[in-house]
């Protein structure tokens, strides 16, 4: 029997500790006074913990091959069985998995109940300052205490949502042991621009298609609801492209988003609107746009196209027709910033997945060191993908040990 220290009592750390305890003595170190704080925030407090479509395309990572091995169908099946065995009964809605209670606290409580049932020792308010590798194992040190152990699972999280304890200290610990850190930026976060019209469209929610360009190259596309704010754009679609956008900005590249405000159109807006004008004659442009666009957004688009709301479509100069069509079909917004880690749900980047054994999550740099969860260079879209990865990677580490 080995002595295993798990650093971090979040989703990945809790699962890793539970699974490792089947054959080993486990000590769980948590820097907060409670475990699982971030779990409570997931899915707006409902805990969207999984997705039926765990396709690799829903993730960003530096090693797709390794991630494919980690989130394999067999591993998914094992982890879902593990979660059900500790009592998490799923409610599945639009591919999203929630606990049937719709309460994130249920997931945390069931994980902590299992920690207690397995007699896993939890030490709270233990902030790890250093991990020392020696000939017999490791020494894990805080400012006033040290623990000797045979194996270490590093599950200290990223920089996102620091109020839950994720302050990036896990990166420093991994770096001190010889690992490589890829560029870390906020993800699942709103994006900012510097336009004067933002205050005019603030508060609007609308279905749209977002296309992200970095240095004029198309890199991502999302369809769904966006939120127009007084600083730029937000909402799930924005979150899903934000990791690539923040990395682009940090690399000093030009980042733009093209917004298609009527994504249901299968033809050009120009042709479609011309037919609409013929089918509903003697109406102003505002009347033709009625029921299609929220007023605040409509007025911004008309103003930028230099079109009067009382104008008639067929009487407009061709240049103004094309200008309005462009505003609706491919509204270009230059992204100049983003909301910080305080507002981000996860981080993109992290410890390179190329330095991890994808079957066990063991370090390829330091034997008997395991790295899991948000610490790694893996981040997913909204929809339960990030918590699913945390559960899977934690489980694989515990199983590997």
Per-residue three-class SS string for 3-37: EEEEECCCHHHHHHHHHHCCCCEEEEEECCCCCCC
DSSP assignment letter at 215: T
**Ramachandran bin of 197, using left for φ above 0, alpha for ψ from -120 to 50, beta for the remaining angles:** alpha
Same domain, 247 and 366: no
Q: What is the pLDDT of residue 43?
A: 83
- Which residues, 6+ apart, have CB-to-CB distance to 275 below 8 Å? none
Give 219-273 pLDDT, tens digit per residue. Answer: 999 999 999 999 999 999 999 999 999 999 999 999 999 999 999 999 999 999 9
Same domain, 170 and 251: no
Same domain, 329 and 297: yes
CATH number where 96 lies: 3.50.50.60
Mean pLDDT, to the nearest integer, of 151-156? 98
Contact 23, 4 (CB under 8 A): no
**Ramachandran bin of 167, using left for φ above 0, alpha for ψ from -120 to 50, beta for the remaining angles:** alpha
Q: What is the pLDDT of residue 42?
A: 87
pTM for the model: 0.95
Contact 297, 198 (CB under 8 A): no
Q: Of the candidates 288, 313, 339, which is a domain's last residue? A: 339
Same domain, 11 and 109: yes
Q: What is the pLDDT of residue 163?
A: 87
Same domain, 57 and 122: yes
Same domain, 334 and 385: no
Q: What is the pLDDT of residue 165?
A: 83
Q: What percent of the chain has pLDDT over 90?
A: 97
Total number of domains constituting the chain = 2
Q: Report d(CA 276, CA 273) in Å as an integer.
A: 5
Query: Which of 78, 51, 56 shows the shortest CA–CA distance to 67?
Result: 56
338: confidence class by pLDDT, cuts 50, 70, 90: very high
Q: What is the pLDDT of residue 282?
A: 92
Q: Report d(CA 383, CA 372) in Å as an integer.
A: 20
Q: Which domain holds residue 173?
A: 3-186+347-400
Mean pLDDT, to the nearest integer, of 166-184? 96
370: confidence class by pLDDT, cuts 50, 70, 90: very high
Q: What is the pLDDT of residue 44?
A: 85
Same domain, 228 and 302: yes
pLDDT at residue 1 is higher than 90: no
Same domain, 19 and 160: yes
Same domain, 150 and 12: yes
Q: Of the candidates 290, 310, 339, which is a domain's last residue? A: 339
DSSP assignment letter at 325: H
Four-point Cα dihedral 126, 130, 134, 139, nearest 10: -10
Same domain, 49 and 164: yes
Mean pLDDT, to the nearest integer, of 365-389? 97
């Amino acid at each position: 029997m080995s002595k295993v220290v798990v650093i971090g009592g979040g989703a990945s750390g809790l699962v890793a500790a539970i699974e490792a305890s089947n054959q080993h003595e486990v000590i769980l170190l948590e820097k907060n006074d409670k475990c699982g704080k971030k779990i409570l925030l997931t899915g707006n407090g409902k805990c969207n913990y999984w997705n039926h479509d765990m396709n690799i395309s829903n993730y960003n990572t530096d090693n797709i091959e390794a991630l494919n091995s980690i989130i394999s169908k067999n591993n998914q099946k094992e982890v879902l069985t593990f979660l059900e065995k500790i009592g998490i009964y799923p409610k599945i809605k639009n591919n999203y998995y929630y606990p049937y209670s719709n309460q994130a606290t249920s997931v945390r409580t069931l994980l902590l109940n299992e920690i207690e049932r397995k007699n896993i020792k939890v030490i709270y308010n233990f902030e790890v300052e250093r991990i020392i590798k020696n000939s017999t194992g490791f020494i894990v040190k805080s400012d006033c205490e040290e623990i000797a152990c045979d194996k270490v699972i590093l599950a200290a999280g990223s920089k996102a949502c620091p109020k839950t304890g994720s302050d990036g200290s896990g990166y420093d610990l991994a770096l001190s042991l010889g690992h490589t850190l890829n560029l870390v930026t906020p993800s699942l976060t709103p994006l900012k621009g510097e336009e004067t019209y933002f205050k005019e469209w603030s508060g609007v929610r609308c279905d749209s298609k977002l296309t992200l360009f970095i240095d004029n190259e198309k890199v991502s596309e999302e369809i769904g609801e966006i939120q127009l704010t007084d600083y730029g754009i937000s909402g799930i679609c924005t979150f899903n492209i934000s990791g690539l956008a923040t990395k682009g900005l940090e690399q000093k590249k030009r980042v733009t988003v093209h917004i298609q405000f009527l994504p249901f159109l299968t033809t050009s807006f120009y042709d479609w609107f011309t037919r609409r004008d013929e089918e509903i004659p003697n109406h102003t442009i505002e009347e033709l746009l009625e029921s299609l666009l929220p007023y605040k957004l409509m007025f911004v688009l008309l103003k930028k196209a230099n079109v009067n709301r009382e104008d008639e479509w067929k009487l407009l100069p061709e240049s103004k027709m094309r200008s309005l069509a462009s505003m609706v079909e491919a509204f270009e917004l230059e992204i100049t910033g983003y909301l910080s880690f305080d507002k981000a749900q996860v981080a993109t980047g992290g410890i390179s997945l190329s330095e991890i054994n994808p079957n066990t999550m063991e370090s390829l740099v330091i034997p008997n060191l395991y790295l899991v969860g948000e610490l790694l260079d893996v981040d997913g879209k909204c929809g339960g993908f990030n918590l699913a990865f945390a559960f899977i990677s934690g489980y694989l580490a515990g199983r590997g040990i």
